[in-house]
Amino acid sequence: MRPNIITEAGIPTRLNQWWSSIPFITSGVVLICGVIYLLCLLVGYDSYDTICFLPSAVASHFQVYRFYTSVLFHGSLLHVLFNMLALVPLGTELERIMGSVRLLFLMFLLASTNAILHLTIAFLVAYNPLYPALYLVNECSIGFSGVIFAMIVIETSLSGVQSRSVFGLFNVPAKWYAWILLVLFQFLASNVSLLGHLCGILSGFAYTYGLFNYLLPGPSFYSKIEGLSALSVCVRRPGFILCTGGTTYGQLPTYSNTSAAPSALINGNFLRNISSWMPNRQTPTVQEGEDPRFPGRARTLGSAGAEPAAREASANLHARHTVANTVRADATVTADQVDTFDEELKKLVGMGFEKTQAEVALAAADGDPNVAIEILMSQQG
């Protein structure tokens, strides 16, 4: 009997350890979606046509609230379980890279852009003169899977892996992973929104290629949010991950050029991105003891010690992003430090360095412009 007692006691302990390892925002989204589904189940709510994403209702009655209610509601137990189990590993990795506030903003941005793309494509296809498909504007979509598809694209881009496993059965090139999942779900599941998932993939690639750069705030915005007294209880939570030190993962897509003016969106770099469309990267060099799919570690409030040193700057731009994680884990950024960081960044950009590389180098140098210049010169050399 004693072995059985130990085994039974170990299950809740392991579940508690697993749940404790999930960061603040990711676990919060899981809880919100789960609670909403349980409440709907208990009260017998099934009027999904009032909260789902319905293009005709959004356009005719300007029901913008559907952009966000549609991602929080789910139609069945399997629906919510599958989406949340997919969200946990994706959200955990992205939150540790970006920080909690930045990930929350990213989810809001992706939910908005997914809905706008869905609305636009639905009406363009529904009323095209060649083959009208009016059912698309009357298709009711719910679930978090559209945002999850966008996060798959972003996480794959940041990880730099060359292949991904599909349900543990076979490996596929990482650049085709989201597209293969899109096709498989259409064949394996019923009542799946092809357009909702497709728009998620398109939003993910748009973010990765820097098309949303002008919608993304700078590091000072996230630091001010984290410094609000109203959020002090959340910030002190063990799973809350700070966005301090000018970490640039969440706002600087791999192929972007943030120093370019808005009018210069269609430049040579952008056209090269469109020609390749899918990123094709080499796997970054991994230090001993470091997860190859997780370059660098973000900072959790209350953790001690310094982060591992960054890789050499001769790797690709994704590897240069990892330099930002050398900032101390227990560092606290004040408003004055953020202003100083922004001022030094402007000076480096004024010297002719690209803003993306300058921001990463300055963060790696802990705000010292001289050290940042040496890093940038070594990269150019």
Residue type, 377: M
Q: Among 99, 197, 96, 187, which residue's Cα sits nearest to residue 143?
A: 197
Task: Tell me if residue 145 is catalytic.
Answer: yes
* Parallel/antiparallel/unpaired status of strands 170-173 and 241-242: unpaired
The tokens of 203 are what?
A: 């939003």
Cβ atoms of 235 and 301 within 8 Å: the answer is yes
- Element at 55 (helix H, strand E): helix 55-61
The tokens of 268 are what?
A: 């040579």
User: How many CB atoms are closer than 10 A to CB 358?
Assistant: 26
Residues 340-353: b if buried by 16+ CB within 10 A, e if exposed: ebeebbeebbeeeb
Helices and strands counted in the chain (H then E): 16, 4
Task: Tell me if residue 74 is catalytic.
Answer: no
- Active-site choice (74, 118, 197, 318): 197
List of residues 6+ apart from 29 with CB closer than 8 A: 87, 91, 107, 144
Cβ atoms of 299 and 242 within 8 Å: the answer is yes
- Active-site choice (27, 145, 203, 256): 145
Which residues are annotated as catalytic? 145, 197
